[in-house]
Amino acid sequence: MKKQQLDMTPVSHPYPETTMFGALKQAAERFPTAPAFDFMGKITSFSTMIQKMEMAAGAFYQAGIRKNDVVTICMPNTPQAVICLYALNRIGAIANMVHPLSSQKNITFYLDYSESKMILTLDQFYPKVRDAAKEAKRDVKLIIARIQEELKPVLALGYKLTQGKANLKYPEKGQGVVWSDFIKSGRGVKLPPIEYDKNKTAVILYSGGTSGTPKGICLSDFNFNALGMQVAEIAGCNLTVGCKFLSVMPIFHGFGLGIGIHTVLENGAQCILIPQFTKESYAKAVLKKKPNFIAGVPTLYEALLKVDVFEGADLSFLVGVFSGGDSLSPELKKRADKFFKEHNASVQIREGYGLTECVTASCVTPVDRAKEGSIGLPLRDMIYKIVEPGTFNELPIGEAGEIILTGPTLMLGYMKAEEENEKTMRKDENGTTWLFTGDMGCMDEEGFIYFRQRIKRMIVSSGYNVYPSQIEKVLDKHPDIDYSCAIGVKDPYKMQKVRAYIVLNEGVPETEEEKQKILAYCKEYLDVYARPKQIVFRKELPRTLVGKVAYHVLEEEAAAEENA
């Protein structure tokens, strides 16, 4: 059996020796008048952006926030969220990134877990965040942002009189301060010098979107700045001033913050901030803004293929289209690539793989070559190995095992979780720290990586390892099926059997005849132990907050049925 013969020696390249804010300031010095971000048609230049960040930094400093203090940002993609994050970074404070649609109970958890001193949120989330802060173990000061304050005058008035009118009473007296008033207190405040420490936490992001209790992932300035250089190198063109990136992935997500915002701004390009996703509004933004780059999870591309506004549209302005955050089925890739070709875009979807534990993508399909089922090649300085799960024993080329990786974007560690850190981040005999991903995959002779699935998600049926993701790829190719999710349920003889949850295409009836048709199809393409024994039709499947199919919810439902 042929062992992996690829050079696995980590290579060191120079990365910016500065903070995240420092990297943006360097970009602003090169391109002061260039657009940094576009929010609903209002464009902010790099020089103005830096000025706002420094004034906001002064406000936080005036409020007593110091190095290593934590402030929670519970916001969608808005200018205030971007300004706040880098303002905190400017003074050495830590940004704790939280989804604004999180439950009140979870927001309290995030505040307590991170020991946050302040929280920024939108007025529309104020009642929930206020109550969450009241339940926190320490005093948490509220800062309330308003969408209308970052819109052009006509749009701002319209928003204020419609959607924003109901929220004008917030914050209540003595229960918070409005962002626009808060940052005014930062004018003229003398800021401390920028301090760069490669091993200091700059941002806390959270994992656990598909299962388990969320874990705080501590990421450094070095992690983000290295990612910015890595991604710029593989963008497919010169990612710099003049390029536009449609930033729809959220700022509280590694994909959204790491690539959609920081990579773009670090390289002098422009973010088009999208605060809320609907397939119609996103499609219209693509046509109106003509971005050079779009990126998102597979569900985003599923949505784009179902809207009518692209009929006859010219998408030749696209030079980079990326998918990450979840597995991209070969069938969806084929349909999407065909869609882009039919609309004059000389691009293919480039699938990426990564974890929040290394900010986001660490492996991406090359610009000029794709292999079906592959997630591509590791980015610069990212080293991958396929090993026997939980060990450093490398497996032969083509054999599936646990993916482990190392490189400059590797997290500092989980917050307050030493035991978990010891299991996940381990040093080899040469002293190199490797991340044990908990994902199954394999590598071919050219170094292309193939993702199989989470180890914990693997189904064991009649002694065979069954990969739900492979079953889903087969099912999703069926002409009657929109998308699917396979899980394992208990079986007295096989240990587990496969149950497939299926969303049919519009107009396809949910009948017993249809089930038999799908089961017959599975007999052609799946081994006997991997074939679904049960088919369950659903109108839709549960999703996580970032759009992945929440398979754990289906597993919990199945377990509840068994115990009923």
Mean pLDDT by 10 residues, the chain (564 residues): 40 79 97 97 97 98 98 98 98 96 92 98 96 96 95 79 78 92 96 96 80 82 97 88 94 95 97 90 92 89 86 93 83 91 93 93 91 92 96 95 96 94 95 94 95 81 77 91 92 83 94 94 85 94 81 88 78
Domain-embedded: residue 213: no
Residues 404 and 478 in one domain: no
Positive or negative: CA dihedral 274, 146, 545, 305: negative
Looking at the structure, do residues 373 and 485 belong to the same domain, yes or no? no
User: Which amino acid would we find at residue 415?
Assistant: M
Q: Which pLDDT score, from 0 to 100, does residue 189 have?
A: 96
At residue 143, the pLDDT reads 98
Query: Could you give the angle at which helices 20-30 and 79-90 cross, rounded to 10 degrees?
Result: 110
Which CATH number belongs to the domain containing residue 475 in this structure?
3.30.300.30
Same domain, residue pair 162 and 236: no
Tell whether 351 and 281 lie within a shared domain. Answer: yes
Tell whether 249 and 374 lie within a shared domain: yes
- The DSSP bridge partners found for residue 443 are 449
- Among 118, 104, 115, 157, residue whose Cα is nearest residue 137: 115
Task: Indicate whether 536 and 495 sit together in one domain.
Answer: yes
Here the tokens at position 492 are 């007295």
Tell me the DSSP string of 69-115. Answer: -EEEEE--S-HHHHHHHHHHHHTT-EEEE--TTS-HHHHHHHHHHHT
- CA-CA distance, 546 to 296, in Å (whole number)? 10
Q: Within this chain, do residues 406 and 281 fall inside the same structural domain, yes or no? A: yes
- Do 168 and 296 fall within a single domain? no
Q: What is the pLDDT of residue 208?
A: 58
271 plus 395 within the same structural domain: yes
38 — phi, psi (to 5°)?
-120, 120
Q: Which helix (H) or strand (E) holds 58?
A: helix 46-62
| In-domain check, residue 14 | no
Burial of 153 (0-12, 13-18, 19+ CB in 10 A): exposed
Give the count of domains, the chain.
Answer: 3
Instruction: Give the phi and the psi of residue 87 in degrees, each rounded to 5.
Output: -65, -45
Could you tell me if residue 438 is inside a domain?
A: no
Residue 268 belongs to a domain with what CATH number?
3.40.50.12780
Interatomic CA distance for residues 347 and 337, integer angstroms: 7
pLDDT at site 463? 66
Whether residue 97 is contained in a domain is answered as: yes
pLDDT, residue 470, reads: 83
224 in a domain, yes or no? no
Tell which of 132, 164, 192 closes a domain: 192
- Which structural domain, as residue segments, surrounds residue 262? 231-425
Run of H or E including 62: helix 46-62
pLDDT at position 9: 41
Q: Token pair 């369950």 is at which residue?
A: 536
Q: Domain for residue 205, yes or no?
A: no
Q: Which residues contact 491 (CB under 8 A, 6 or more apart)?
A: 461, 497, 533
CATH code (residue 28): 3.40.50.980
pLDDT at 496: 86
For the four alpha carbons of 341, 345, 348 and 349, in that order, the dihedral sign comes to: negative
Whose tokens are 């997500």? That residue is 253
Q: Which of 425, 441, 473 is the last residue of a domain?
A: 425
pTM: predicted TM-score of the whole model, two decimal places: 0.85
3-state DSSP assignment of residue 311: coil
- Report if residue 445 sits inside a domain: no
Report if residue 450 sits inside a domain. Answer: no
Say if residue 41 is in the same domain as residue 185. Answer: yes
